[in-house]
Structures are given as structure tokens and as C-alpha cells.
A and B are shown apart, each in its own frame.
Chain A
């Protein structure tokens, strides 16, 4: 049997309904008697609350209830939320109350909730709530948060330090003592929000008859949210059901808990009515976690040929106002630092600090794009300092193909040693450079400069730890109708889960892909899952899909062999029919549906001896270690030195995510990921003023990358199977984003080399490029 589905660009199984306008998102769901909520949010970054007067709001016709924290009732006024990821490294784990208590610490924090007949009325009522705020000084810039004279971000804090995270291995002192060269470089990294097409939306529906609350939620992690809610409410998990209907994009910020779903669950139970809250776009800019700022101060030690001996430094990381997500983002910013390089020694300390800004949590790539940018900045700094070809510096430092499995010396957040399983970084870089025309670029660049045009090319290489555990549950069940039910716990936000897991199951079980019925992301019906995050689902649910399908196949073959009185080895399954092979000389068959019927007989029937009922299996098989994807990107830009405008001329990415289940979907993930990285390099900036008041709260000011600004993309693949799962797969969701910023920033620097411009910070905009050109000119004028 040849590979019919696995490895081919099967069309997306989930798209028909979307193309026909039949997708069902939270806002499409209506219930009889449903009410609508609107949250009053802090409009000042830091203030003491002296009082909240909701009386005028309650008087508006159509308003059913207005809640402050006290109105929620006991125990909530004294029960803040807890962080999703506790850690001993956390020194101050301050979490929000569901609605503000005594103090607001960022613009956007939930202060009160109006529940009304319609959203219009609820918003009318919001404007009638009077909050007596006493303004307090705020911290807007993480770089100043630990200054001796920095204001306290929360009343009563002695320090704004949330905790430290460390990346240390090797003998760093020896590395710097022995080095022929050391270089210092400082850079500021900014990443904005996830900006999914669909904002966060919720319906909470309490059923008094069952004493159960069903929460329809736009989350990446239905089981995680259910668990956090059950723990917070001290409730049986079966009394809370989280359902993700169709979800319009996740990108990280939908992976964690938010106060709103807890508040709605409480309120629905109190009012005994379904309550809907739809986050509008303006709210999304302040109410949904973003990623925020990092300031890096780094130093690197190397030899004459660019061989790196060690890197050290300090990072200030903006946590925002609370700690909903533990130190996950600091961790993913530091542990992946070595990237694709054999780095002998590392000593980096990260200070995670409170600011009076929106809370932070991972955005596509989490901290990995930050870490990759930091390492690539160091490579660029070495190449510039030693006047070496940046490609050569990379080649000299890459982990070699013969070194896998390669132990970096660092540790993963789990405490396990970081081990790269597979790859070929040299060939990936060569592939990218060749397709980008790196070899003759210098000639093209020189010719363009003669015409006053400034072309530049930049490289960026990365690894990505994907598929972290523990598992995603998958159930495969053949039904008497012949339909094959495939259930996974992993929620989809548009990635194409249905397609790839159907491909695996169809291949393994021997059925037509159209016979598969897919269900996911409903804690009431599907096997336990964890979260769609960190490019982890394929490397977890993929092996589980294969394993579950294989168990079903075995059972089917065993039963068919008995029924057909033939040896199991003489059977094959194709298109859902178990039949004798041509070589067996027999001509008998039975459908999987009929076999299923034998295992689930009607009244007075009998399950065959030696068999359990149902032609089904559930698996939690996952990868045995961390599959590492890798990639090298090459960007080409043209910079207008009069206006500072940057045109992306071309973008080549060579990527290795192991065996590709569906190359079309991989390409989509990679290109989408690069676009996200382009946003980080050139466009997306969440602007706050000095009082931590957010400024960029619409898409005219917060600039997402759009189609007209995109370069041609060329995606090249190398398939180095991961040894950690039988499919050989690795995650592909973030490999486009992780390296992108440096490729583009380095390309701009390369274009502006005649002027001696070094950019370092991202995002960079045309105005900043002009300032850098002016500064460079002033320097050369002064010299």
C-alpha cells in the first residue's frame, strides 16, 4: 500500500463550511434568554479606587445587573486568581482579582460588569458608572522598573521585581579570559499582541437542572481552562464544560486564563441566564495579553575566526501588571539562546519586572523569537567587528550534523537537559543562500549603489524546540455506519488539525479520508488534551492519532481473521474494507462498519469471545523527547535613504520540520509565521505614553503587516525525521516567525553599510532609519 495521504497536500477538510459561510463562532451562538455583558475597564494605568457608584447604571432600562467585585459576593472579594504556571523562581506572584479591588494597575483591567438585554444597553450603562480614582505614579518602561526611584507598580511593593530566570552553563569566566575578541551590544526588542481576527469571546450558560456550567470560549486550551476554573471554584471538573466552537486564530494570547470567563461563569449562575461577552477590538488592545518589551545587554567572546567561546549578559523583561502565566515567557526567552550554535559557555540573567501595562504571555514563538534575535545579533556583532562574512560566522559555529543528539549544556524549563535531536544546519543555510542569490549579491549591491539605490541582504538561523509534552489524547472509533470518529483534545484555531490527523488515521487504518468525522475541543466529549501552543500539537496528537488508529486496525484485523476464517497476515484494509490479499488466493472481505457492528450488537446480541465491545481505541502516545525544527532565512531589502522606507524585495526560508504530513499546510504555517516576524521587525508597536497610557488602540496606529507590504516568499524544505516519534514529525507553527526579525534588521544594516548604520532595536520604522542616518552622518562629520 503506497502513501496515499501522509506527505501529500490533501485539501483542508475543514474549509467547506468556512467557504460557505457556515462556520460557527462564539458570537454566532444564540440562546433563548441570553443576556449581554460589557466590562468597565480601568482607563488609568495606576490608581487607588476610593469608590465605585453603579447606581445610575442600574437605572437604565434593560440593565439586569451591575457587578463590582463586592457584588460578586463571597468568596471573590478575597480570592485573587492564581498563576497558570507556578514557579519557585517567582518572588512576587501578584494575580488579579476577578474585578478590581481597591486598586487598578493597568489600563484595561476589569473594574465592573454590566449585564443587559443587549450590548448596546450594556455600553450605555458603562458610561454611567462613576469610579473615584486617586491617580498613582505608574511604570511605563521596563528599563526603569528597577531604578531606585521607580514608583511601585502595586501599592505597598518594595521592588518591582517579579523574579529572575537564569541561563547558565560552561565556564564563562574562562571563555572571556581566553578570548581574542570581546564585543558588547545592547538592543531593545518589542513584540506586540497576537491580534487574532476573532477577539476573545465567551458565553457562560449555567444549567440549574444539572448544576453544570457550559462555557463557550475562544481558547487554545479548553482543558487547561476547565482545570483552572474547577480549581478556582473548588468544583468537580465534570460540572464545568468548556467548548471551543470555531475559533478565528489564537497566536498565543488565547492560551491562558482571563478574569472574564470566571466572572461570566459566576454571573450566569447567579442570574440563571446565559450571558455572552464579545471582546471588541478596542478592548482587545488592552484586555488581551501582549508580549511586551525586553532590553538586552550582551557581551560575546570569540576567536579571530569568529568561533564563539561564550556569551553573557542581562535582560530586563516586561511582565506587565500581573503574573497570569508564571515565568513561561522569560523561560522561553532564555533557554533557547544557544540556537543552532555550539556555544561553549553562557551566563545570562533575566530580571522579570512589573510595569503598569497589559499583562504579558506568549505570542507566536513565545520568547524564542527574542532569544533567536539575541543570538543572531551576537553573530552579526562578531561578523561586523571582525569584518567576516556573517554566513561564515554562522557556519563556523553551527552544531554539526555528526553531533546529534547534541546536548547544549543548558536545561529546559522542565529541568531536563536541552538536547537537539536532529537536523543539518549547514545544508539549510546553504540552501537558503543559494536560492537567495547570496553569491553574486555583492555585485548587484555595488551596481545598485552606483544608481543611488541601497540593497541589503540579511541572514538569520534558528532552531525551535517543538512538541513539548505531556500529550494530546486521541480517540479513533469505527462505527457500524462505517464512519470513523476521530476525536482529539487539541483545539484548533485554524491550523488544519482535522486535515492532518485525518491524513494520519486514514493512512494507518486504511479508510477513505472522507469517511472520517472529526471532533475536538469539547471537554464534555473528547479525550483529555492540553493546549495548542508552542508548535506542540502535531508532535503529540500526531503520534497519538497513529497509535490509536493502529490499535483499531489490529482489533479489526483480529476479528476479521476469525470471521473470515483466514490468517491475519493474509488481510489488508483499503477504503474501509478488510479483505484477503491477492497473494492469499481467497476472495473474502468484510467492512470495518460490519466489524464494528459485531462488536456493538443490539439487544440479545453477543460480543465475540475474547473481544471488548466497540471498535475503538484511545491513545496518549506522544513524542519521546523534544523534536527540534530548524531553519535559515535570507531577506533582501531596498532602503530609500531619503525617506527611510524599507521595501522587502525577497524572502527565502529553508526550513526543517522533519517529515511533512501536508506540505501545503506547512508552507502556510511558515509563510504566516514569517509575516508575523515581519510585523515584529518593521511594523507592530504597542505605544504607551510615559504614564503607561496606551496610545495605539486601532489598526491605523498599531500596524499589522498587510499583503501589499509583503515580499515574494520562497519556502524550501529539508526533511530530517525526528527520532522522537515514529512519524518523524516536528512542529512547524513558529519556525517562520522565530528568525525573521534579524534577517530583516541585518538586511537593512547591510544596505546602509556605506553609512555605518547599525539598527539593533526592533521594530524599526522609516523615521528611525532617517534618525540613524543623520546620527551616522553627524558622527562621520565629527570624525
Chain B
């Protein structure tokens, strides 16, 4: 398990990086390395060039810009977990981060790496989708903006050209009082989720006024349960309502592999949708 031969590049500025990108072919980017390093060692990927993003200034950090939380792509998962801004404005992200790998891996793993790797079961793409994140990518042609809904093009394929990197994730948290929840089922703590579900819910006078549900792991890419979101509006925040939303999740297509059947993923999508909605409703109405 030794990687094949590659040329290592260590740019320190975005300009240096974009200059490199214009000239190189067959490139992989090293962010936190939690997926890429094993893939290199197992020779699942054998790029000619490895560009290390860790030394580039200005790619990491969390800032509040008006109503929007701006998160640099190289921000470590552990940093997000400890951030006061995230705790205050985007607690659902921290709820999900507890499920991301192990505490050791979270010190290396980055939000941008997770979004670009786009494993269907990964928690952070699910959260970005749940929160309608806007992504800024940069390349030799300059910057462009991509809505998270348009980010996954296919299984593990983000809306990103070979010469672009993800720079910034911008999320405008829901205003007003609302509840949230994130739950997932994995075989062991820290394993890839079989299915994970996140939701946000606003409730006024016992009926639902706003709902967002995102499901990961069930299908090739994470998705929003839009049909159920729309149907929830105006409904009472009750067990029956949530069970109906769960049934919608169960009806969605799911993938199967050597270990997990589509039917089991659908079962979990149902159960977790129901459970997270109930937990979010409790938070929304509890105080």
C-alpha cells in the first residue's frame, strides 16, 4: 500500500494556486486527507500531481457577514465543532459533526474536503443542503457561485471542473425561533452513515410554518425531502404528521450494496425522518 509516483505542489496563495491549475493536468487536491490518503495508498487514485491546499492563506475560518455565516473550505471539522458562531447560528451543523468520523480525524478533516469528496453518506454535504448553502468556487477563470442544490451532479461528483477548488461555504441561518435535529444510523460510532437525516422546523401555535428535511446515505447523492417539506406546512406538529413525512421518505428510491439493501435504507429513512421531526418540533416548541 504505497502510492504511485506523483509530483507534490505546495502553493501558499490563491493566485499561485490558480496559476498552477492553469498549467497542470491530472491533479488531485489534498485538503484534510482523510479520504484521499488511503485512496492514494491503495492506488485507487494515481494522479500525476498532488496539490496541497493546507498552506494556502485565507482558505480557513468562520466569519459572520451580515446574516450569512461564511466558512472557509479548509476549516477543520473540529474547529466548526468548537466555534461559538456555529453554536449560536447553526447548531444543526454541530449536531451533525458529532457523527463525522472520530475526534482524531476531525482535527484534519475539512468541510470543503467533505463537500468535494461528496460521499453520499457524509454529514456535511447533507447539512449544507439542509441549510441551502451557497458555494464559492475559484479557478483560473475566477470565482463563481453554486447553490448547494446544484452541487451534486452525480454519485461523488461535485459541480466542479478539474481546474477549480471550493473556496467558501456561505450559509444564511433561519431567522426566528425554530427547532432542528440530526440523527443517523451507522454500524459503529464514527462509521459511514447507512442513513442520516437532518431537519429544521418552525412551529407557530402548534402548526408547522417552515420545514426543511435532508437525507444522506439513502441514495447516490444527498437529497431534500421536498414533497414532505411542502406537505408539512400548516400541519399540526404531531406524531401522525411526522409519520406521514416518514412514509414519503420510505417511498424514495434508495441504493443497495454488498452490505445494505435498499429496503433497509428506506426503512431507516422513514424512522429517522419521523424521529428527527419529532425532536426538532420539541426544540421548536419546548422553550
Are A767 and B260 in contact, CB atoms less than 8 angstroms apart? yes
Which of B153-161, B169-177, B187-195, B229-237 is found at the contact surface with chain A? B187-195
Min C-beta distance of A237 to chain B, whole Å: 35
Are A642 and B271 in contact, CB atoms less than 8 angstroms apart? yes
User: Given A643-B268, A770-B264, A770-B267, do A120 and B2 touch, yes or no (CB 8 Å)?
Assistant: yes
Q: Is B261 an interface residue (CB 8 A)?
A: yes
User: Given A120-B2, A124-B4, do A708 and B259 touch, yes or no (CB 8 Å)?
Assistant: no
Min C-beta distance of B189 to chain A, whole Å: 4
Considering the chains assembled together, what is the distance between the CA atoms of A708 and B98 in angstroms?
Answer: 13
16 additional contacts, CB 8 Å, given A120-B5, A683-B187, A683-B188? A120-B2, A120-B3, A127-B43, A282-B42, A642-B271, A644-B264, A687-B258, A700-B191, A701-B258, A706-B188, A708-B189, A708-B190, A765-B187, A766-B185, A767-B261, A767-B264
Nearest-neighbor residue (CB-CB) of A118 within chain B = B2
* Neighbouring B residues of A767 by C-beta, 8 Å: 259-261, 264
* Neighbouring B residues of A280 by C-beta, 8 Å: 1
Considering the chains assembled together, what is the distance between the CA atoms of A119 and B3 in angstroms?
Answer: 10
- B58-73: contact bitstring with A at CB < 8 Å (1 yes, 0 no)? 0000000000000000
Of the listed residues B2, B38, B190, the one surrounded by the most CB atoms of chain A closer than 10 A to its CB is B2
Min C-beta distance of A287 to chain B, whole Å: 13
Considering the chains assembled together, what is the distance between the CA atoms of A706 and B189 in angstroms?
Answer: 8
Considering the chains assembled together, what is the distance between the CA atoms of A372 and B26 in angstroms?
Answer: 55
Are B191 and A645 in contact, CB atoms less than 8 angstroms apart? no
Min C-beta distance of A26 to chain B, whole Å: 16
* Neighbouring B residues of A689 by C-beta, 8 Å: 258
* Neighbouring B residues of A705 by C-beta, 8 Å: 188
* Neighbouring B residues of A766 by C-beta, 8 Å: 185, 187, 264
Q: Is A695 an interface residue (CB 8 A)?
A: yes
Min C-beta distance of A397 to chain B, whole Å: 36
* Neighbouring B residues of A123 by C-beta, 8 Å: 1-2, 4, 43
Question: Of B43, B189, B260, B271, which is within 8 A of A709 by CB?
Answer: B189
Are A708 and B188 in contact, CB atoms less than 8 angstroms apart? yes
Nearest-neighbor residue (CB-CB) of B189 within chain A = A708
* Neighbouring A residues of B2 by C-beta, 8 Å: 119-120, 123
Nearest-neighbor residue (CB-CB) of A120 within chain B = B2
Q: Is the interface of B mostly helix, strand, loop or mixed?
A: loop
Binding site for A on B (CB under 8 A): 1-5, 38, 42-43, 185, 187-192, 258-261, 264, 267-268, 271
- A758-783: contact bitstring with B at CB < 8 Å (1 yes, 0 no)? 00000001110010000000000000
* Neighbouring A residues of B189 by C-beta, 8 Å: 706, 708-709
Considering the chains assembled together, what is the distance between the CA atoms of A708 and B102 in angstroms?
Answer: 10
* Neighbouring B residues of A708 by C-beta, 8 Å: 188-190
* Neighbouring B residues of A642 by C-beta, 8 Å: 267, 271
User: Given A643-B271, A770-B264, do A687 and B191 touch, yes or no (CB 8 Å)?
Assistant: no
Are A709 and B188 in contact, CB atoms less than 8 angstroms apart? yes
Are A700 and B192 in contact, CB atoms less than 8 angstroms apart? yes
Residues of A121-175 contacting chain B, CB below 8 A? 123-124, 127
Considering the chains assembled together, what is the distance between the CA atoms of A174 and B107 in angstroms?
Answer: 67
Considering the chains assembled together, what is the distance between the CA atoms of A687 and B258 in angstroms?
Answer: 8
26 intermolecular pairs with C-beta atoms under 8 Å apart: A123-B2, A123-B4, A124-B4, A127-B43, A281-B1, A642-B267, A643-B185, A643-B267, A643-B268, A683-B187, A683-B188, A687-B259, A695-B258, A696-B258, A700-B192, A701-B258, A703-B188, A703-B191, A706-B188, A706-B189, A706-B190, A708-B188, A709-B188, A709-B189, A765-B187, A767-B259
* Neighbouring B residues of A700 by C-beta, 8 Å: 191-192
Nearest-neighbor residue (CB-CB) of A122 within chain B = B2
* Neighbouring A residues of B188 by C-beta, 8 Å: 683, 703, 705-706, 708-709
Nearest-neighbor residue (CB-CB) of A119 within chain B = B2
Min C-beta distance of B4 to chain A, whole Å: 7
Min C-beta distance of A37 to chain B, whole Å: 13
Considering the chains assembled together, what is the distance between the CA atoms of A687 and B2 in angstroms?
Answer: 25
Q: 8 nearest interchain CB pairs? A: A708-B189, A280-B1, A767-B264, A120-B2, A642-B271, A695-B258, A123-B2, A709-B188
* Neighbouring A residues of B264 by C-beta, 8 Å: 644, 766-767, 770
Are B187 and A703 in contact, CB atoms less than 8 angstroms apart? yes
Are B1 and A282 in contact, CB atoms less than 8 angstroms apart? yes
Considering the chains assembled together, what is the distance between the CA atoms of A630 and B38 in angstroms?
Answer: 43
Min C-beta distance of A526 to chain B, whole Å: 34
Considering the chains assembled together, what is the distance between the CA atoms of A683 and B191 in angstroms?
Answer: 12
Considering the chains assembled together, what is the distance between the CA atoms of A304 and B268 in angstroms?
Answer: 43
Considering the chains assembled together, what is the distance between the CA atoms of A127 and B2 in angstroms?
Answer: 12
Nearest-neighbor residue (CB-CB) of A279 within chain B = B1
Are B4 and A701 in contact, CB atoms less than 8 angstroms apart? no
* Neighbouring A residues of B268 by C-beta, 8 Å: 643
Considering the chains assembled together, what is the distance between the CA atoms of A645 and B272 in angstroms?
Answer: 13
Residues of A105-119 contacting chain B, CB below 8 A? 119
Min C-beta distance of A121 to chain B, whole Å: 9
* Neighbouring B residues of A709 by C-beta, 8 Å: 188-189
Min C-beta distance of A606 to chain B, whole Å: 62
- A267-306: contact bitstring with B at CB < 8 Å (1 yes, 0 no)? 0000000000000111000000000000000000000000
Min C-beta distance of A184 to chain B, whole Å: 29
* Neighbouring A residues of B5 by C-beta, 8 Å: 120, 124
Considering the chains assembled together, what is the distance between the CA atoms of A123 and B189 in angstroms?
Answer: 34
Considering the chains assembled together, what is the distance between the CA atoms of A282 and B187 in angstroms?
Answer: 21
Considering the chains assembled together, what is the distance between the CA atoms of A767 and B266 in angstroms?
Answer: 11
Min C-beta distance of A59 to chain B, whole Å: 15
Considering the chains assembled together, what is the distance between the CA atoms of A123 and B46 in angstroms?
Answer: 13
Of the listed residues B38, B43, B187, B261, the one surrounded by the most CB atoms of chain A closer than 10 A to its CB is B187
Min C-beta distance of A564 to chain B, whole Å: 61
* Neighbouring B residues of A765 by C-beta, 8 Å: 187
* Neighbouring B residues of A119 by C-beta, 8 Å: 2
Min C-beta distance of B273 to chain A, whole Å: 12
Min C-beta distance of A406 to chain B, whole Å: 41
